[in-house]
Amino acid sequence: MYNNNNSKNNMGCCLFGLVIGLFTGIGLLIYRIILFLLPLLPWAIKGLYYLIAWPFLAFEYGWNRGGVWRIIALTGGVLFGVVMLVAVLTAPPPDPTSPPTRTVIVVTATPSPSPTAVPATNTVLVPTDTPSAPTPTVPPTAVGATNVPATLVPTVAQADVATATVAPQPDAVAPQPAPDAPNAAIPANAIAVTVKRVVDGDTIHVFLDNNDVTIRMIGIDTPETVDPRKPVQCFGKEASNHARQLLNGATVYLEIDDSQGDYDKYNRLLSYIWMADGRMFNQVMIAEGYAFEYTYNRPYKYQAQFKDAQRNAQAQQLGLWAPTTCNGVASDVTAVP
């Protein structure tokens, strides 16, 4: 009788033998390849070394030979360095990988008009055949809203209706003062600051955003008292004392003039100074004879007013225009110790 189990065992042994033979053959092949490549490995390393180091070896060879060869080696080394530097500097930068973008579609919903809530106890419907006063047209409260028909307009009991009186709007709008400014004459764009210290008649220090900022006033020039390059000039101390009397520790308002720029060459902020009573300090100093009108480079905003104030002070011989003081000339009177 034929034994099927012996046949299966024989096939398993043959398959196992084939697998062993296959792995053995692959191992022998890898071993032969390694044996073949091992003698070539030193030559490969030497070739890679000479491929990288040939410029340096050539330079070394020429340098060691001396004479003309040394000059050739130096020239070749310099040229090689220049070429490599140019190649590095002119290499295009790698393209940055741009992040993926997503398109977002925003849908804005249009709000539907909502009727004004009215207490139910006071609401009645006006019949269409009852004569009544014409109902004013109610403007739409939202985009797409329509007017409500007169038959559906609720009316409120007379006791609950307050008559609204609309005051007529004036044609001219009164000037608005700066925030927290006590006087309407102060421009709306003026910046409120606190005076820290008065340097002289045309320069002060203020606290602005918790910083000590030097302010040089636009359009005026007072006699010098603190410039180390100049002696004290006529009426300079009087101008400084008057400025301290008006400004020391006070809250003032800075107005910047775009025509003059923000800072002068000494990094001082250029500004007009408005006092809390609505007077501009720059103009007051000129009008009372403590300062000259001063145009630095370009006309400024209040140039005409300042020139008029100077003409009036000169005509009345006020301050430094008086014959008993400076007679309009801020001459040097005392040397700075």
pLDDT tens-digit readout, 66-109: 788 888 888 887 888 888 888 888 877 665 544 444 444 444 44
Q: Please state, for a pLDDT cut of 90, what percent of the chain lies above it.
A: 41
User: pLDDT-based confidence at 217, cuts 50/70/90?
Assistant: very high
Beta partners for 208? 211
User: pLDDT-based confidence at 170, cuts 50/70/90?
Assistant: very low
**How buried is residue 307: exposed, middle or buried, by Cβ count under 10 Å (0-12/13-18/19+)?**
middle
The pTM of the whole model exceeds 0.75: no
Which residue among the candidates 224, 238, 255, 293 is catalytic per the annotation? 224
Q: Is the pLDDT of residue 143 over 60?
A: no
In the prediction, which pLDDT does 322 show?
A: 96
> For the residues 146-155, what does the mean pLDDT come to?
42
User: pLDDT-based confidence at 147, cuts 50/70/90?
Assistant: very low
Residues 6+ apart with CB under 8 A from 160: 119, 122
d(CA 259, CA 295): 12
Active site (annotated) includes residue 268: yes
Q: Which helix (H) or strand (E) holds 156?
A: strand 155-156
**Structure-model confidence comparison of residues 178 and 88, the more confident one:** 88
d(CA 299, CA 211): 30
Sequence-ordered alpha helix ranges (H) in the chain: 4-37, 40-65, 68-89, 236-247, 281-287, 303-315
Amino acid occupying residue 248: N
CB-CB contact of 242 with 229 (8 Å): no
In the prediction, which pLDDT does 335 show?
A: 38
Q: Please state, for a pLDDT cut of 70, what percent of the chain lies above it.
A: 69
Domains assigned to the chain: 37-66 (no CATH), 191-334 (2.40.50.90)
User: pLDDT-based confidence at 5, cuts 50/70/90?
Assistant: low
Place of tokens 């001063």: 294
Name the residue among 115, 289, 281 with its Cα closest to residue 185.
281
d(CA 321, CA 316): 8
Which residue among the candidates 216, 238, 255, 293 is catalytic per the annotation? 216
Q: Is the pLDDT of residue 142 over 50?
A: no
Beta partners for 272? 255
- pLDDT tens profile 110-134: 444 444 444 444 444 444 444 444 5
Name the residue among 51, 53, 74, 54 with its Cα closest to residue 62.
74
Amino acid occupying residue 336: V
The token duo for 135 is 């109902």
**Structure-model confidence comparison of residues 11 and 108, the more confident one:** 11
- pLDDT tens profile 25-35: 898 899 889 98
d(CA 8, CA 5): 5
Torsion of CA 170, 173, 179, 181, to 10 degrees: -90
Which residue among the candidates 238, 255, 268, 293 is catalytic per the annotation? 268
In the prediction, which pLDDT does 162 show?
A: 41
d(CA 73, CA 87): 21
Beta partners for 207? 194, 212
Backbone Cα Rg of the chain: 48
Q: Is the pLDDT of residue 172 over 80?
A: no
d(CA 99, CA 336): 67
